[in-house]
Amino acid sequence: MRIAVANRLTPYLFMAPAVVIMAIALMYPLGYMIWGSFRDWSPSQTIGEAEFVGLKNYVTLWGDPNFWESLSVTLTFAFFVVTLEMLIGVGLALLLDRNIRGMSVLRTLFILPMMIAPVVVGLMWRYMYHPTVGTFNRMLDSLGLPTVDWLGNHALMSVIIADIWQWTPFIFILALAALQSLPRSALEAARIDGATAWQQIWHIKLPLMMPVLIVTGLLRLIDAFKVLEVILVMTEGGPGLSTEILALRISRTATEFRELGVAAAMSNYLLILLLALTLAMFAFTRLQEARAARIRAAVEEES
Amino acid sequence: MPTIQLDNLIKRYGEVEVLHGIELEMADNEFTVLVGPSGCGKSTTLRMVAGLEDVTEGEIYVDGKPVSHLEPKDRDLAMVFQDYALYPHMNVAQNISFALRLARRPKAEVHAKVKEVADMVGLTDFLHRKPGALSGGQRQRVAMARALAKDSGIFLFDEPLSNLDAKLRGQLRAELALMSQRVEKNMIYVTHDQIEAMTLADRIVVMHGGYIQQQGSPEALFKRPVNKFVAGFLGMPPMNFLNGEIKEEAGDVFVKGNGFSLRLQDEKAQAAKAHRVREVVLGVRPSDLVFDAEAPSDQALTLDVMVSEYVGAQSVLLCQCGADQVTVEMNSETPMALGQTLRFRITPNRVHLFDRESEDAIQSK
Ligand SMILES: Nc1ncnc2c1ncn2[C@@H]1O[C@H](COP(=O)(O)OP(=O)(O)OP(=O)(O)O)[C@@H](O)[C@H]1O
Ligand SMILES: [Mg+2]
């Protein structure tokens, strides 16, 4: 009896350290943030001294055009980077999925941008975008073309380009892995059935890669909502609010405007958005598993 | 339907040559079976015909026209793969109709064709299932139906039955034989199963190590194998081989070995006499040995029965002849005890002789 109880408790004992660390490292700050979001709280106060204001911070944000501007910048940014990165990454994977000499070197080169620290990426691109001495404008100039005010009038486009440069490789390697695990003989059968290269991609490769691509896209989307460093280094959100993504606005609200409560409330809005996306991803994988299980059950029933 | 001709086909992977000049001609409506042990190049040959593998040297002619530069889709052929190669995301009907839909055939025609071939292979009830929800045998039928729906002149099979259990294999083999009589196509079928080869083929091509060893009708290959490899490869249980020497005594020609002395007759004697090499291998099929205590000793083998394997109406006896093992196939009703020494008459003219050095058959031209 005693032994049975002990046996039942053993796994929890082993899990306990992880749970404690989780509680301290994740739950505590999270709870702190949620608690703080209900208060009118300035950095000079302890949380206990701050006045409880209920949902006021959330309501204020709801009516704050700057918050909506920032949210729309975030959504625009996320939409464009994920769409373009998916198109380019998958396209490159389809193009480079062949055995030519030197291909493995090329593939390694392609994933380099992903390995560079974001701050370095930001600095590098800021330099390249510089209006007079930057790489791009000097190149345009030497070709006799008009220069572009990269981080001025076209700031959002410029940060989108930088993000695409950095994160397309992520999609590329996942898409390539998905491609190379496709059943070879099904593709050969398609060739014999008369499919051109395009038709093979459209009718066989893409549909079979779809589960991987959907999860990859969702991962990228979640990441794009949280982007901070590269933009911080490149534009600091400017000019105006044109590149002020939510993460940046949160940080400014807390440090410049000294309104920790509002910043916390904004974080929670972002958290809810990300949670919804994550749930969508889980729901999708669950759906897939359920379908696979159903198919297996159907087969077993017959045999 | 088209004739296919392989002219001195050579295949190299880098430095390694895996096919060394395959010469083959397949007539109209012929069912050709490529058979041989694993790694002998059967699949490679077939895949070169299909256009899935580049031709290193030589040429493939279909109806006299060279095709080795053509894409698979331009070669008028259909293929059934060993692992079925179905499209996992399409249901059975979509799998079957894929080629027709790519060719933009009218909907009604596609529909009718799917129904026709599904009927032919017994898949009508499964048209809306995905391949993942089918058993192995059903998937094989889908693969077959998909190939049939294409209506092409050449039909290629790469070990289509080897992933199935023995019973299902037998059943599908029979269906395939039936189908091959009904549809007029030029078929090339790869297998390493010699029963499939013997039952299905109009012409068997035995391959070994990247060379064609022999080709001809199943009967011709079974009765007159040109070398020891072909003799040992076709026939179940396999042919017995005993080392011996040719000796001439008083005008008669004998094969003498450890524990036997066999007088050759007629044509065999002529051939053996004409052949200069004395060191030979005697080949006797298990089914050509008949229990007969009265047989003359120069027409029989005397064997010690070691083990009897009962397989129903027939039993297979493992026997000892001198130092060599000999298998005998005989009626299970024959009373027999293990450990006995018995005499088996060799059916006249059913012995095979091979040169021990070159392993080529010794036969009159
Ligand atoms: N891509 C490749 N690169 C190098 N060698 C290869 C390649 N593909 C096949 N081979 C070699 O070619 C030879 C013939 O292969 P093939 O697949 O035609 O054999 P097979 O007769 O079909 O055998 P099995 O009955 O096992 O299918 C083998 O020795 C194999 O090792
Ligand atoms: Mg093979």
Which has the closest alpha carbon to A152: A249, A242, A35?
Answer: A242
pLDDT at A210 over 60: yes
C-alpha to C-alpha distance for A103 and B36, rounded to whole angstroms: 36
Mean pLDDT of chain B: 90
**Cis link prior to A239 (omega < 30° from 0)?**
yes
User: CA triplet A176, A177, A182: central angle to 5 degrees?
Assistant: 95
Is B98 in CB contact (< 8 Å) with chain A? yes
Residue A190 CA, ligand 1 centroid: distance in Å? 22
Task: Answer whether residue A283 is part of any domain.
Answer: yes
Same domain, B16 and B153: yes
C-alpha to C-alpha distance for B247 and A260, rounded to whole angstroms: 110
Tell how strand B341-346 and strand B300-310 pair up.
Answer: antiparallel
Q: What is the mean pLDDT of residues A190-198?
A: 93
Which has the closest alpha carbon to A61: A222, A261, A273?
Answer: A261
pLDDT reported for residue A151: 82
- DSSP lists the bridge partners of residue B329 as B316
- pLDDT, one tens digit per residue, over B41-81 is 999 999 999 999 999 999 999 988 999 999 999 998 999 99
pLDDT reported for residue B1: 63
Of B73, B78, B133, the CB nearest to A299: B133
Same domain, B225 and B298: no
Q: What is the mean pLDDT of residues A1-13?
A: 83
Same domain, B107 and B30: yes
Of B78, B84, B87, the CB nearest to A192: B78
* Cβ atoms of A162 and A121 closer than 8 Å: yes
Which has the closest alpha carbon to A193: B92, B152, B121?
Answer: B152
Q: What is the CATH number of the domain that holds B246?
A: 2.40.50.140
Q: In what order do the strands lie in the sheet with B65-66?
A: B16-26, B4-13, B57-62, B65-66
Task: Answer whether residue B360 is part of any domain.
Answer: no
Give the total number of structural domains in chain B.
2
Q: What is the mean pLDDT of residues A89-99?
A: 88
User: Per mean pLDDT, which range of A147-156, B87-96, B114-123, B319-328 is the poorest?
Assistant: A147-156
pLDDT reported for residue B104: 92
8 Å CB contact of A207 and B89: yes
**Which whole-number Å values give the CA distances from B320 to B80, B254, B311, B346, in the listed order?**
44, 21, 20, 16
Same domain, B185 and B276: no
- DSSP for B121-143 reads HT-GGGTTS-GGGS-HHHHHHHH
Mean pLDDT of chain A: 86
**Cis link prior to B237 (omega < 30° from 0)?**
yes
Tally of CB atoms within 10 A around A257: 12
Same domain, B245 and B225: no
Same domain, B288 and B343: yes
CA B10 to chain centre: 22
- DSSP lists the bridge partners of residue B241 as B283
Give the tokens for residue A227: 């982007």
CA A151 to chain B, closest CA, distance in angstroms equals 46
Domain of residue B97 covers 4-233
Reported ipTM: 0.85
SS3 B89: coil
Q: Ligand 1: residues whose CB is within 6 Å?
A: B 13, 16, 18, 36, 38-44, 192
| CA quadruple A229, A234, A240, A242: dihedral, nearest 10 | -70
Same domain, A24 and A155: no
Same domain, B321 and B198: no
C-alpha to C-alpha distance for B62 and A239, rounded to whole angstroms: 70
Domain of residue A221 covers 65-120+149-302
Is A194 in CB contact (< 8 Å) with chain B? yes
Task: Answer whether residue A133 is part of any domain.
Answer: no
Atom of ligand 1 nearest to the CA of B36: 21
pLDDT at B10 over 60: yes
Same domain, B86 and B119: yes
Nearest residue (CA) to ligand 1, atom 11: B18
Give the tokens for residue B35: 């058979």
CA B339 to chain A, closest CA, distance in angstroms equals 45
Same domain, A93 and A187: yes
C-alpha to C-alpha distance for A77 and B258, rounded to whole angstroms: 89
Give the tokens for residue B110: 């596609």
pTM summary value: 0.82
Q: A interface mutation test: which of B102, B142, B157, B158 has the most A CBs within 10 A?
A: B102
C-alpha to C-alpha distance for B64 and B56, rounded to whole angstroms: 19
pLDDT at A303 over 60: no
Which has the closest alpha carbon to A183: B117, B143, B114, B78?
Answer: B143
pLDDT reported for residue A1: 65
Residues 6+ apart with CB under 8 A from A197: none
* Cβ atoms of B142 and B94 closer than 8 Å: no
Task: Answer whether residue B18 is part of any domain.
Answer: yes
Task: Answer whether residue B282 is part of any domain.
Answer: yes
Give the tokens for residue B351: 């012995």
Residues 6+ apart with CB under 8 A from A85: A163, A164, A167, A168, A170, A171, A220
Last residue of a domain, one of B233, B260, B291: B233
8 Å CB contact of A193 and B102: yes
Task: Answer whether residue B174 is part of any domain.
Answer: yes
Same domain, B225 and B244: no
Q: What is the CATH number of the domain that holds A259?
A: 1.10.3720.10
Q: What is the mean pLDDT of residues B138-154?
A: 91
Same domain, B200 and B283: no
Closest residue, chain A, to B135 (C-alpha): A299
C-alpha to C-alpha distance for B3 and B29, rounded to whole angstroms: 8
